[in-house]
């Protein structure tokens, strides 16, 4: 044990950080279990120790945007770290990987090759009428509550799940019409992400405690969302509808599975579909809510947004994407909201056996490295002297080079090989939703 601790300490001894970080991940895990977030703790460490910090025996964090292409870029392939393992689902003792949790880069590339066309903007716009349908339901529910104080974040969360299930299955769970969560879908998604947050730093212990045969024998029955997915998968497999592959996301996943059954099996189809719904719905709902909340906090910002939308010549309700896609102030507000929103977990990659040098720092093979998004997305050398303030104008006044640097440092949809394939859908949903809500209602904050 002493020899192991000594090796751990010596491997990264030149990198500053808390002494306990050189010995164990428990010191950081304990803070997270007490309710703190990894990204907040790491940001605090960077303020204390500088742009490169040792956060664990085998972990190093960088606060510089220059590290982004080196860690996440396409020229070097660093696999996702073991900290993603707690997000992997198990069914009957077998792991069900998703694009998010897969650590095999070759397999990720192959899966993306088969499914990426289904995530193109032009493909999603073929389903725009389905997004319009869910926005209509949201508008009806909000009108019924006109003149009252509501939790916009809650209602946008309902809308997010209903929209993603509609796009995935051409069917909804009905959160909005019920005015409440259905089948604990949102709670299930939150529990999954909370579990990841709690155990990301101790993946081996998590596997020992939660993924052994004894614990799996007490596995809870499938969630309502999983049951809906299984039902729709069986229906599609039995269907003779030739248009099914183009109908929705599930159809496209099944078509990809048919072409490459060894790469994308039945379990993969369900896991990919459910993970897309979980990740996509929450990201869009929270970012849209943040955008409106930040704008309402400074009424001059909201008034500029409102003026742009009301004078844009929008011809329909819900707003057509063609009418709002290129509205500059709306786009700037969404970009700024994405800058301030951050995953509470780490985005770690593992250095290959040969080792690597990042930002002039030599690292041995097997080291887990990451970039602290809260640091890069508030870097004053990139975003200016008021980087900690919500200001959409920064995107409007930036030249092309500055915009690229800001997008790069924001890490809104990750970067490089693992860039989020759902980003086109997210932008479509957010722009349509925000423009429609602002156009249809007189909104004010508390």
Q: Which spans in 265-399 are helix H? A: 266-297, 299-310, 321-324, 328-340, 373-376, 380-383, 393-397
DSSP string across 303-336: HHHHHHHHTS---SSSPPHHHHTT-HHHHHHHHH
Pairing of strands 356-358, 89-91: unpaired
State how far the Cα of 55 lies from the Cα of 123, in Å rounded to an integer: 42
Separation of alpha carbons 27 and 199, rounded Å: 13
**Whole-angstrom distance between the N-terminal and C-terminal Cα of the chain?**
56
Coil, helix or strand at residue 193: helix
Rounded Cα gap, residues 394 and 399, in angstroms: 10
User: Does 375 belong to an annotated binding site?
Assistant: no
Q: Evaluate whether 50 touches 42 at the Cβ level (below 8 Å).
A: no
DSSP tag of 104: -
Between the alpha carbon of residue 113 and those of residues 247, 300, 403, 428, the distances in Å are 20, 45, 29, 22
* Residues in Cβ contact with 291 at an 8 Å cutoff, skipping those fewer than 6 apart: 333, 334, 336, 337, 430, 434
Which residues, in sequence order, are CB contacts of 173 under 8 Å at separation 6+?
161, 162, 165, 182, 183, 185, 224, 225, 228
Which residues does residue 361 pair with via DSSP β-bridges, in sequence order? Answer: 358
| CB distance 248 to 124 below 8 Å | no
Q: Single out the residue of 426, 128, 438 nearest to residue 312, CA to CA.
A: 438
What DSSP state is assigned to residue 371?
Answer: E
User: Omega before 335 cis (within 30°)?
Assistant: no
Any residues with CB less than 8 A from the CB of 211 and at least 6 apart, and which?
Answer: 90
Closest CA to 124 of 433, 442, 423, 439: 423
For residue 226, how many other CB atoms are within 10 A of its CB? 19
Is 321:346 a contact under the CB 8 Å cutoff? Answer: no
Binding residue positions for heme: 420
Binding site residue list = 420
């Amino acid at each position: 044990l002493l020899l192991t601790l000594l090796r751990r300490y010596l491997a990264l001894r030149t990198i500053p950080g808390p002494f306990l970080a050189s010995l164990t991940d428990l010191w950081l895990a304990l803070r997270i279990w007490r309710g703190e977030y990894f990204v907040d703790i790491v940001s605090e460490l960077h303020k204390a120790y500088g742009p490169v910090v040792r956060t664990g025996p085998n972990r190093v964090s960088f606060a510089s945007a220059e590290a982004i292409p080196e860690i996440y870029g396409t020229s070097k392939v660093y696999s996702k770290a073991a900290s993603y393992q707690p997000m992997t689902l198990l069914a009957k003792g077998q792991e069900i990987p998703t694009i998010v949790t897969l650590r095999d880069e070759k397999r990720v590339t192959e899966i993306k090759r088969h499914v990426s066309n289904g995530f193109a903007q032009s493909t999603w716009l073929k389903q725009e009428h389905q997004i319009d349908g869910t926005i209509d339901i949201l508008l009806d529910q909000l009108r019924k509550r006109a003149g009252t104080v509501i939790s916009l974040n809650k209602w946008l969360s309902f809308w997010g799940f209903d929209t993603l299930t509609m796009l995935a299955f051409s069917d909804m769970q009905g959160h909005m019409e019920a005015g409440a969560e259905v089948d604990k879908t949102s709670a299930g998604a939150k529990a999954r992400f909370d579990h990841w947050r709690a155990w990301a730093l101790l993946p081996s212990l998590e596997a020992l405690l939660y993924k052994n045969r004894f614990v799996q024998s007490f596995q809870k029955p499938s969630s309502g969302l999983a049951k809906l997915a299984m039902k729709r998968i069986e229906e599609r497999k039995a269907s003779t509808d030739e248009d099914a592959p183009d109908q929705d996301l599930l159809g496209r996943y099944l078509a990809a599975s048919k072409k490459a059954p060894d790469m994308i099996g039945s379990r993969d189809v369900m896991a990919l579909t459910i993970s897309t719904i979980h990740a996509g719905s929450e990201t869009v709902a929270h970012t849209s809510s943040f955008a409106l909340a930040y704008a309402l906090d400074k009424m001059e910002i909201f008034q500029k947004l409102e003026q742009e939308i009301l004078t844009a010549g929008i011809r329909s309700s819900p707003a057509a994407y063609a009418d709002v896609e290129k509205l500059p102030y709306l786009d700037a507000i969404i970009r700024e909201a994405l800058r301030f929103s951050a995953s509470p977990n780490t985005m770690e990659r593992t250095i290959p056996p040969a080792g690597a040098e990042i930002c002039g720092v030599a690292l041995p093979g097997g080291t887990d490295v990451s970039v602290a998004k809260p640091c890069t997305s508030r870097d004053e050398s990139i975003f200016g002297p008021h980087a900690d303030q919500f200001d959409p104008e920064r995107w409007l006044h930036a030249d092309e080079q500055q915009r690229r640097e800001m997008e790069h440092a924001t890490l809104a949809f990750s970067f490089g090989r693992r860039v989020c394939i759902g980003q086109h859908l997210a932008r479509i949903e957010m722009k349509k939703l925000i423009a429609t809500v602002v156009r249809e209602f007189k909104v004010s904050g508390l």
